[in-house]
Amino acid sequence: MEIQLWWLLALPLFFGLGWMAARIDLKHLLSESRALPQSYFRGLNFLMNEQPDKAIEAFVDVIKVEPQTIELHFALGSLFRKRGEVTRAIRMHQSLLEREDLDQERKLYTLHEIAQDYLKAGLLDRAEESFVKLEGTSYAESALKFLLEIYEQEKDWLKAVDTAKQLAKLSGQSYQKEIANFYCELASHEMMNSKIDEARIHLEDALSVHRRCVRSNVLLGELEANQGRFADAIEAWQRIESQSPDHLSLVSGKMLEAFGELDRFEEGLHLLKGYLSSYPSVELLNVVFDAELKSNGVESAYHLVRDELRKHPTLIGLDRLLEAQLMEAPMERRKDLELVKNLVHQHAQNLAQYRCESCGFNAKQFYWHCPACGGWETFPPKQSEEREK
């Protein structure tokens, strides 16, 4: 390729321009470096030497000398909150809010930060007040999420419903599962206070928001049973099959009791056997085994659990099989069987747990609301016998 003459003429010019730009940038950098306090460089040095506590104190000294370092205020305030030093975080952000030279966007950001400080400190009223002020701003969606968290903590379910509806409209995401559970929480509260009509309205609201809300039919069945309307209770619980058949195990014991109250125990047992065949679970097996043992004797219960164990091997199934064998075993074999059964039973009880699909939290009892991550309906209704890896 031939070199054009004008390239040779342009090269010195480009070199000269680059040299001048570098000199200007270097002078600007040196000027800025001289303007920074020594505390800033000490802080950087501490960070490089993995001494974060000393670095933070050095940067605090920078702020005292150079109050215009707004970004450093923000960084330190957030760091203090993450470290649990919420009082220092609040003071840092409060000093920014009091500044008259702060532009509107930074004021909103500071308000969003101090609201999180209040929330971390447990000052829910002040946090709520601050987040509410962000309505209609660029931080509105984030503020609504934090408000929802506050109302859940305070168990203010009506505000939680309203906030979740606003959040769904603003974000375009569905919050029907959460809203339905908020209505169920309201219904549970009214049931505890014997306000049956109010509870029924909340349960209807839950189903209108989320037709697959299993919890609403669980509670509706309990409401009807408490009123002595056992046929209506059974009907409500049977509707769970069309919503989520795996959740039938949660109401199987109560359903069988309702059938018993109507002198239809055998009919109820037959229904649960059908559920066990179609939707097997250790919880359902326990209920059906006890009912079969009570109604038809040891041999029938033994055959039932043996057949189920062949199809779906579980430690709890084995535990119930050993229990049936122990009842009919001769005296000379009982000690050996008791030893084996006790070992299996203990191991099965240790392993059988409900596990949150969102955060992996394990629990012996079933939760609609995960105590660890706060997710709604994140627990499958079946216990797992798998050891956590």
* pTM metric for this prediction: 0.77
Interval 176-232: pLDDT, tens: 999 999 999 999 999 999 999 999 999 999 999 999 999 999 999 999 999 999 999
- Highest averaged pLDDT of the listed ranges 67-81, 291-305, 325-339, 374-388: 291-305
Instruction: Reply yes or no on whether the pLDDT at 238 is more than 90.
Output: yes
| CA distance to 20, 104, 185, 234, per residue, from 126 (Å) | 55, 21, 25, 47
Structure tokens at 121: 């400190």
DSSP 3-state percent helix, strand, coil across the chain (nearest 5): 75, 0, 25
Q: Please report the pLDDT score of residue 350 as a whole number.
A: 67
Where in the chain are the domains?
Answer: 280-352, 353-389
Residues 203 and 218: their CA atoms lie apart, in Å, by 10
Interval 84-120: pLDDT, tens: 888 888 887 887 787 777 788 888 988 999 999 999 9
Interval 9-58: pLDDT, tens: 444 544 444 544 444 343 443 344 444 444 444 444 433 444 555 544 54
Would you tell me how many other CB atoms lie within 10 Å of the CB of residue 173? 9
Q: Please report the pLDDT score of residue 310 as a whole number.
A: 85
Among candidates 322, 256, 263, 260, which has minimal Cα distance to 284?
256
Q: Please report the pLDDT score of residue 205 as a whole number.
A: 97
